[in-house]
């Protein structure tokens, strides 16, 4: 079943499957003003930032306490409906898109910083705080929270932990999991639990913390998160290197890595992306070059200055046609912001933008880029390429039109081939966006049967009734108990999926 | 002829639109929204409510749905469409270039057409838009009555009205701040005589005096004429001009807006002018879009295009006029006063004019200019928003005033009458002595001759 089929059969299927009495109980738990089920409210929680998927929830709740979340999940178990947690809805794999017979559980209004512990270098936050706001607040007092996803201006920490978000500083500083020290969360059964805390070292039993991080909202709802901070680097510098040939830029990346300099960010943009970003941000990028590298260096002042000289030299040696160094912190921020807008800026060209995140070991970036270009031209598709070249996490982005069935079909074939290519080069099908809905079936190709079975078993232990974000990461087996789906459309869909009830 | 450097920031808007036109021949521009969510943190109503429904992304989804399924003009939909400030911060934030304002205006137009608003609201709105904004004397009359009721606290007869208004959340004190039109208005003057000797480069500038500005801040209009003359322009203010129609268009009354536009264009001899200038950002932004009001085959469309092509906001013109001036200095009275600039949404977001006012102010020697944090955030004035959504408007205003306080500015400079009234109200409520001035008034008073 292609992704488009999925969408057209699913969209706007607004039939009430959750019993009215159940909805009333939900309403009683959170209170009337925090419960929504108007058509308008359902509509605006039917999507996140993922292209092609949408599904109406049956109700939306905005819980006000941990106890309420716990009660909601207990109710979900006893009355058989699904719960999909949602922060800001900026995910790119469909993690917060509703599933059938579900309610949406909002956490974006839980946005406080609860405690800053300067003796332990930790900050404790609620899950709905916006990553960028947390970063700004921490930088004001001399700390850095390094994970910096492209959507940092809107994404929430809760969502970042659930998706184990990466971002542009992954190369030097790692990803979200490297900064999560512990959290309080609600299990699918409704029990509340704390894992980890402020200990730098903690080996008490299985590392369940890392199991929950990146679980895409399928194993628990985070309610309080303890994050690690690092002192803010004394100095940073931003450099842009323009290349007339994309292959030169890829070689420059390898050379920088080989020179033992670890850049805070090492970002690649191809010509299509550069043109779109420039059209949006007007920051004076030349639109004729084939590629550019955005390189951020940070650390002690002397060290940064020395590295900057060396990196500039490497770029020149690899035929960079021009180098531009940001003159002020404001200019550096402007460049980074423009880079972060790359994905959405690409939407200027065509109505549908499908962004993926095939990732390869750093050494394979150049061959991977070549393969992407070959696959794009083979299927006659328009691609914009950008990504975190420094850590091998690329973002091949297909510029297409969801109403052109043939083109969408070709897009899908192309992504299949891209993933296969990534796997052949020792890579993975997703570096930072997660599997969610959009990569479920690619996961079936990428992961072994044992691997999948093991993950399914883990899910079953945590959530035997499949109430928390079911159907994400892998398809759950169709339910074979309980009443048959009432609507004919739904029944047909189940049959189509191979269900035998 | 326009000086080549004038159209810098404006041309950018045109580029984006032409780019979209090239790649999207269909009328389904809203499909451009890829719901990435980057607009959310810039949307004042989303930040107030944290509700997706009240975000640009959510509203676009609702508008798209209402277009596809015509029967969805529910109460909730209508309320949401009018809860939007139309500050267009989302347009500035949108990397994909979605023209949010056009969708919002078309949605409001559809609401007006469908007659889904409650009868009382419709009557009040009609009275406001179609009756009082129809002619100058009517608006003068209405604003004088309102002002009188609001300010004459000694007359006991009005007390019940004032109390009722307060109960309804109507900003009665805010109305009291609307200055009385005591100064002779510019639009009632005859054509101003060309300036004779100042400056070498002489521009013929047609001046759109506006409606709210003309009535509540007619001294700003006088200052505009005088200032432009000082910079060597020849200023022409046609007689009996009236509202440009932007008030109506923003409320979705497109037919009325078009009639107002046609009337206004009648008054100007476009071919004889180099530039057409307005000093209210709401007006200049709308004047630039005049062509879009007329259908492709409408004979007035060409005229509207010619007209719109010459429109500049007064700050853009001042930017061009001050660009190579290194002799601008302050009078003693203004020398130690810290100033800041608060961007009107219709300047920075609707017209993408960000640098022009800063360039003008920075060209003045020894000026203590400080950037206002979140200067590109709406102050909550937003047309008649501070009347229709008083509570939310005041929350946004508080946020603005806190920032003004934090930088210790003596004068807040802006360039739109709505923002001026709102900011004055907020500063007065907080007991601050910070002054609010239109940029032309500031320049006219503060620049040494």
**B90 C-beta neighbours (distance < 10 Å), count:** 27
* Residue A478 contacts residue A499 (beta carbons within 8 Å): yes
Can you tell me the mean pLDDT for B314-340? 91
Taking an 8 Å cut-off on Cβ atoms, the answer to whether B38 and A344 are in contact is yes
Q: How far apart are the first and last CA of chain B?
A: 27
Question: CA of A498 to nearest chain B CA: how many angstroms apart?
Answer: 32
Which residues, at least 6 apart from B341, have a Cβ–Cβ distance to it below 8 Å? B357, B358, B361, B369, B371, B372, B375, B412, B413, B414, B439
Taking an 8 Å cut-off on Cβ atoms, the answer to whether B37 and A111 are in contact is no
Specify the pLDDT at position B75.
87
Report residue A1's pLDDT band, with 50, 70 and 90 as the boundaries.
very low
Tally of residues, chain A: 501
Domain encompassing residue A323: 234-344
Specify the pLDDT at position B7.
36
* Residue A263 contacts residue A311 (beta carbons within 8 Å): yes
Question: CA of B315 to nearest chain A CA: how many angstroms apart?
Answer: 21
Report residue A494's pLDDT band, with 50, 70 and 90 as the boundaries.
low
Alpha-carbon distances of A87 from A49, A61, A110, A156, A331, rounded to whole Å? 12, 12, 9, 6, 30
Report residue B297's pLDDT band, with 50, 70 and 90 as the boundaries.
confident
Q: Final residue of a domain: which of A289, A311, A344?
A: A344
The CATH number of residue A370's host domain is 3.30.70.2740
Strand partners, B206: B236, B276
Is residue A328 domain-shared with residue A371, that is, in the same domain? no
> In this complex, is the C-beta atom of A350 within 8 Å of any C-beta atom belonging to chain B?
yes
Taking an 8 Å cut-off on Cβ atoms, the answer to whether B19 and A279 are in contact is yes
Judging contacts by C-beta atoms under 8 Å, the chain A residues touching residue B74 are 38-40
Helix axes B218-230, B314-322, angle to 10 degrees: 20
Q: What angle do CA A132, A157, A333 make, to 5 degrees?
A: 20
Taking an 8 Å cut-off on Cβ atoms, the answer to whether A88 and B40 are in contact is yes
**Closest Cβ–Cβ partner in A38, A132, A345 for B95:** A345
The CATH number of residue A273's host domain is 3.30.70.2190
pLDDT digits (tens, 9 = 90+) for A329-357: 999 999 999 999 999 999 888 888 999 89
Taking an 8 Å cut-off on Cβ atoms, the answer to whether A151 and B24 are in contact is no
Give exposure, A155-182, as e/b (b: 16+ Cβ within 10 Å).
bbbbbbbbbbbbbbbbbbbebbbebbbb
Q: Give the HSE-up count for residue A448: Cα atoms under 13 Å, Cβ half-sphere.
A: 3
pLDDT at A37 over 70: yes
Q: Record the tokens describing residue B380, joined without a space.
A: 């909550």
* Chain A CA closest to residue B68: A12
Instruction: Give the single-character DSSP code of B205.
Output: E
* Selection from A473, A477, A472 nearest residue A497 by Cα: A477
**φ, ψ dihedrals at B13, nearest 5°:** -60, -45
Specify the pLDDT at position B150.
67
* Chain A CA closest to residue B32: A351
Taking an 8 Å cut-off on Cβ atoms, the answer to whether B38 and A352 are in contact is no
**Closest Cβ–Cβ partner in B23, B36, B58 for A49:** B36
Judging contacts by C-beta atoms under 8 Å, the chain B residues touching residue A46 are 61
* Selection from B357, B375, B351 nearest residue B9 by Cα: B351
CA distance B319 to A343: 34
Q: What angle do CA B91, B93, B340 make, to 5 degrees?
A: 95
Taking an 8 Å cut-off on Cβ atoms, the answer to whether A344 and B36 are in contact is yes
Q: What angle do CA A38, A39, A45 make, to 5 degrees?
A: 95
Residue with tokens 């005229």: B303
For A389-491, strand residue ranges (E) read 393-400
* Selection from B197, B200, B193, B203 nearest residue B228 by Cα: B203
CA distance A337 to A117: 29
Q: Is residue A414 part of a domain?
A: yes
What percent of chain A is predicted at pLDDT more than 90? 81
* Chain A CA closest to residue B41: A154
Hey, do B24-112 and B324-446 end up sharing a CATH topology, with the first three levels equal? no
pLDDT digits (tens, 9 = 90+) for B210-229: 888 877 788 888 899 999 98
Is residue A291 domain-shared with residue A354, that is, in the same domain? no
Taking an 8 Å cut-off on Cβ atoms, the answer to whether A344 and B95 are in contact is yes
> In this complex, is the C-beta atom of A112 within 8 Å of any C-beta atom belonging to chain B?
no
Taking an 8 Å cut-off on Cβ atoms, the answer to whether B32 and A282 are in contact is no
Taking an 8 Å cut-off on Cβ atoms, the answer to whether A48 and B23 are in contact is no
Judging contacts by C-beta atoms under 8 Å, the chain A residues touching residue B53 are 40-41, 44
CA distance A398 to A382: 6
> In this complex, is the C-beta atom of A499 within 8 Å of any C-beta atom belonging to chain B?
no
Taking an 8 Å cut-off on Cβ atoms, the answer to whether A280 and B95 are in contact is yes
**A109 C-beta neighbours (distance < 10 Å), count:** 15
CA distance B41 to A390: 29
Q: Final residue of a domain: which of A281, A316, A344?
A: A344
CA distance B54 to A389: 37
Per-chain mean pLDDT for chain B: 82
Is residue A355 domain-shared with residue A317, that is, in the same domain? no
| Domain-wise residue ranges, chain B | 24-112, 119-176, 186-319, 324-446
Is residue A355 domain-shared with residue A340, that is, in the same domain? no
pLDDT digits (tens, 9 = 90+) for B354-405: 999 999 999 999 999 999 999 999 999 988 788 788 889 999 999 999 999 9
Specify the pLDDT at position A370.
92
Q: Sign of dihedral through CA atoms B152, B156, B158, B159?
A: positive
| ipTM value for the complex | 0.90
**Closest Cβ–Cβ partner in B16, B35, B52 for A279:** B16
Specify the pLDDT at position A485.
52
pLDDT at B115 over 60: yes
Taking an 8 Å cut-off on Cβ atoms, the answer to whether B53 and A351 are in contact is no
Report residue B23's pLDDT band, with 50, 70 and 90 as the boundaries.
very low
Q: Is residue A323 part of a domain?
A: yes
CA distance B288 to B349: 14
Question: CA of A463 to nearest chain B CA: how many angstroms apart?
Answer: 29
Report residue B171's pLDDT band, with 50, 70 and 90 as the boundaries.
low
Taking an 8 Å cut-off on Cβ atoms, the answer to whether A151 and B41 are in contact is no
Judging contacts by C-beta atoms under 8 Å, the chain B residues touching residue A134 are none
* Residue B329 contacts residue B449 (beta carbons within 8 Å): no
CATH tag, B186-319: 3.40.50
Q: Is A459 exposed, middle or buried (0-12, 13-18, 19+ CB in 10 A)?
A: buried
Taking an 8 Å cut-off on Cβ atoms, the answer to whether A43 and B40 are in contact is no
Q: What angle do CA B136, B137, B138 make, to 5 degrees?
A: 90
Taking an 8 Å cut-off on Cβ atoms, the answer to whether B35 and A44 are in contact is no
CA distance A390 to B291: 49
Q: Is residue A139 part of a domain?
A: no
Taking an 8 Å cut-off on Cβ atoms, the answer to whether B53 and A40 are in contact is yes
**SS3 sequence of B224-292:** HHHHHHHCCEEEECCCCCCCCCHHHHHCCCHHHHHHHHHHHHHCCCHHHCCEEEECCHHHHHHHCCHHH
Is residue A269 domain-shared with residue A317, that is, in the same domain? yes
Number of domains into which chain A is organized: 2
Task: Write out the CATH class of domain B324-446.
Answer: alpha beta
Taking an 8 Å cut-off on Cβ atoms, the answer to whether B36 and A343 are in contact is yes
Give exposure, B387-413, as e/b (b: 16+ Cβ within 10 Å).
bbbbebbbebbebbbebbeeeebebbb
pLDDT digits (tens, 9 = 90+) for A449-472: 999 999 999 999 999 999 999 999
Taking an 8 Å cut-off on Cβ atoms, the answer to whether A41 and B97 are in contact is no
**Closest Cβ–Cβ partner in B37, B77, B97 for A280:** B97
Judging contacts by C-beta atoms under 8 Å, the chain A residues touching residue B40 are 88, 154
CA distance B136 to B158: 25
Alpha-carbon distances of B391 from B45, B85, B168, rounded to whole Å? 12, 13, 11
Pairing status of strand A291-299 against strand A221-228? unpaired
Report residue B5's pLDDT band, with 50, 70 and 90 as the boundaries.
very low
CA distance B99 to A434: 31
- Give the three-state DSSP class for B66: helix
Is residue A309 domain-shared with residue A369, that is, in the same domain? no
Interface of B with A (CB under 8 A): 12, 15-16, 19-20, 23-24, 28, 31-32, 34-38, 40-41, 50, 52-53, 55, 57-58, 61-62, 65, 72, 74, 76-77, 80, 94-97
Judging contacts by C-beta atoms under 8 Å, the chain A residues touching residue B54 are none
Number of Cβ pairs closer than 8 Å across A and B? Answer: 101
Q: Final residue of a domain: which of A300, A318, A344?
A: A344
In DSSP notation, A370-388 reads HHHHHHHHHTT-EEEEEEE
* Chain B CA closest to residue A339: B95
Specify the pLDDT at position A501.
38
* Selection from B18, B16, B98 nearest residue A280 by Cα: B16
Query: Which one of A347, A352, A398 makes the best mutation probe of the B interface by having the most chain B beta carbons within 10 Å?
Result: A347
The helix (H) or strand (E) run that includes residue A123 is strand A122-125
Q: Record the tokens describing residue A39, joined without a space.
A: 């058509």
- Give the three-state DSSP class for A420: helix
* Selection from B214, B208, B209 nearest residue B143 by Cα: B214
Which position has the higher pLDDT, B376 or A499? B376
For A33-99, strand residue ranges (E) read 35-36, 59-61, 82-86
Question: CA of A470 to nearest chain B CA: how many angstroms apart?
Answer: 23
Question: What's chain A's Rg over C-alpha atoms?
Answer: 23
- Fold assignment, B24-112: Fumarate Reductase Iron-sulfur Protein; Chain B, domain 2 (1.10.1060)
**Closest Cβ–Cβ partner in A46, A88, A128 for B37:** A88
């Amino acid at each position: 079943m292609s992704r488009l089929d999925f969408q057209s059969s699913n969209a706007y299927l607004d039939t009430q499957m959750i019993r009215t009495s159940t909805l009333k109980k939900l309403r009683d738990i959170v209170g009337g003003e925090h419960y929504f089920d108007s058509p308008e409210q359902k509509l605006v929680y039917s999507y996140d930032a993922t292209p092609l998927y949408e599904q109406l929830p049956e109700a939306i709740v905005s819980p006000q306490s941990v106890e309420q979340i716990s009660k909601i999940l207990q109710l979900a178990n006893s009355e058989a409906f699904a719960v999909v947690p949602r922060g800001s809805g900026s995910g790119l794999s469909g993690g917060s898109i509703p599933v059938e017979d579900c309610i949406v559980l909002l956490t974006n209004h839980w946005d406080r910083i609860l405690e800053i512990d300067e003796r332990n270098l930790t900050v404790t936050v609620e899950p709905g705080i916006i990553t960028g706001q947390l970063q700004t607040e921490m930088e004001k007092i001399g700390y850095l929270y390094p994970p910096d996803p492209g959507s940092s201006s809107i994404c929430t920490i809760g969502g970042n932990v659930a998706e184990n978000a990466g971002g542009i500083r992954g190369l030097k500083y790692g990803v979200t999991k490297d900064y999560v020290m512990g959290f309080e969360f609600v299990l699918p059964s409704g029990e509340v639990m704390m894992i980890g805390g402020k200990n730098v070292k903690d080996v008490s039993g299985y590392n369940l913390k890392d199991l929950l991080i990146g679980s895409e909202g399928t194993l628990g709802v985070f309610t309080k998160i303890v994050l690690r901070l690092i002192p803010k680097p004394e100095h940073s510098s931003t450099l842009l290197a323009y290349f007339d040939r994309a292959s030169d830029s890829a070689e420059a990346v390898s050379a920088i890595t080989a020179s033992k300099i670890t850049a805070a960010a090492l970002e690649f943009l191809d010509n299509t992306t550069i043109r779109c970003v420039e059209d949006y941000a007007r920051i004076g990028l030349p639109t004729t070059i084939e590629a550019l590298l955005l390189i951020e260096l940070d650390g002690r002042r002397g060290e940064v200055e020395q590295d900057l000289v060396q990196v500039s030299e490497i770029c020149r040696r690899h035929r960079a046609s021009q180098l531009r160094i940001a003159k002020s912190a404001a200019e550096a921020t402007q460049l980074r912001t423009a880079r972060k807008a790359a994905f959405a800026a690409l939407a200027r060209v065509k109505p549908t933008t499908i962004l993926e995140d095939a990732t390869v070991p750093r050494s394979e970036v150049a061959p991977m880029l070549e393969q992407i270009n070959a696959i794009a031209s083979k299927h006659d598709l328009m691609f914009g390429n950008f990504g975190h070249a420094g850590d091998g996490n690329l973002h091949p982005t297909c510029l297409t039109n969801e109403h052109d069935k043939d083109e969408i079909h070709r897009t899908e074939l192309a992504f299949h081939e891209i993933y296969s290519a990534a796997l052949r080069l020792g890579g993975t099908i997703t570096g930072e966006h997660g599997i969610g809905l959009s990569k479920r079936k690619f996961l079936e190709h990428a992961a072994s049967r044992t691997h999948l079975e093991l993950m399914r078993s883990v899910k079953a232990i945590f959530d035997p009734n499949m109430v928390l974000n079911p159907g994400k990461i892998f398809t759950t087996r169709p339910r074979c108990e309980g009443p048959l789906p009432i609507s004919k459309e739904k029944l047909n869909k189940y049959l189509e999926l191979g269900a035998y009830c | 002829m326009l000086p080549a450097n004038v159209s810098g920031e404006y041309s950018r808007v045109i580029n984006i639109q032409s780019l979209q036109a090239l790649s999207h021949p269909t009328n389904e521009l809203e499909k451009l929204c890829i719901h990435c969510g980057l607009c959310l943190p810039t949307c004042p109503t989303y930040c107030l409510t944290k509700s997706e429904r009240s975000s640009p992304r959510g509203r676009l989804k609702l508008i798209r749905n209402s277009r596809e399924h015509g029967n969805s003009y529910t109460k909730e939909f209508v309320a949401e469409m009018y809860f939007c400030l139309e500050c267009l911060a989302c347009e500035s934030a949108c990397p994909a270039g979605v023209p949010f304002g056009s969708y919002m205006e078309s949605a409001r137009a559809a609401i007006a057409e469908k007659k889904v608003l409650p009868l009382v609201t419709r009557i009040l709105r009609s009275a406001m838009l179609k009756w009082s904004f129809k002619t100058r004397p009517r608006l003068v009359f209405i604003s004088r009555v309102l002002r009188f009721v609001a300010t004459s606290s000694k007359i006991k007869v009005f007390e019940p009205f004032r109390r009722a208004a307060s109960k309804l959340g109507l900003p009665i004190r805010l109305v009291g701040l609307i200055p009385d039109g005591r100064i002779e208005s510019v639009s009632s003057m005859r054509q101003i005589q060309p300036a004779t000797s100042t400056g070498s480069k002489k521009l013929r500038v047609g001046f759109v005096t506006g409606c709210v500005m003309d009535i509540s801040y007619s001294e700003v209009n006088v200052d505009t004429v005088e200032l432009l003359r000082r910079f060597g322009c020849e200023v022409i203010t046609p007689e009996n001009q009236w509202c440009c129609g932007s008030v109506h268009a923003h409320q979705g009354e497109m037919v009325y807006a078009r009639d107002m536009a046609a009337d206004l264009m009648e008054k100007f001899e476009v071919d004889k002018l180099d530039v057409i200038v307005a000093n209210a950002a709401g007006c200049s932004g709308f004047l630039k879009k005049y062509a879009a009001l007329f259908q492709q085959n409408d004979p007035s469309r060409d005229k509207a295009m010619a007209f719109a092509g010459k429109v500049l906001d007064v700050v853009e013109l001042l930017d061009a006029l001050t660009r190579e001036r290194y002799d601008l200095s302050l009078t003693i009275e203004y020398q130690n006063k810290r100033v800041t600039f608060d961007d009107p949404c219709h300047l920075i977001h609707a017209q993408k004019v960000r640098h022009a006012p800063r360039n003008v102010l920075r060209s003045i020697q020894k000026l203590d200019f400080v950037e206002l944090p979140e200067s590109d955030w709406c102050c909550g004035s937003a047309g008649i928003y501070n009347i229709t959504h008083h509570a939310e408007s005041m929350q946004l205003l508080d946020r603005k005033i806190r920032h003004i306080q934090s930088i210790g500015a003596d004068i807040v400079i802006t360039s739109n009458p709505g923002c001026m009234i709102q900011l004055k109200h907020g500063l007065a409520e907080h007991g601050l002595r910070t002054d609010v001035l239109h940029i032309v008034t500031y320049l006219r008073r503060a620049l040494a001759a």
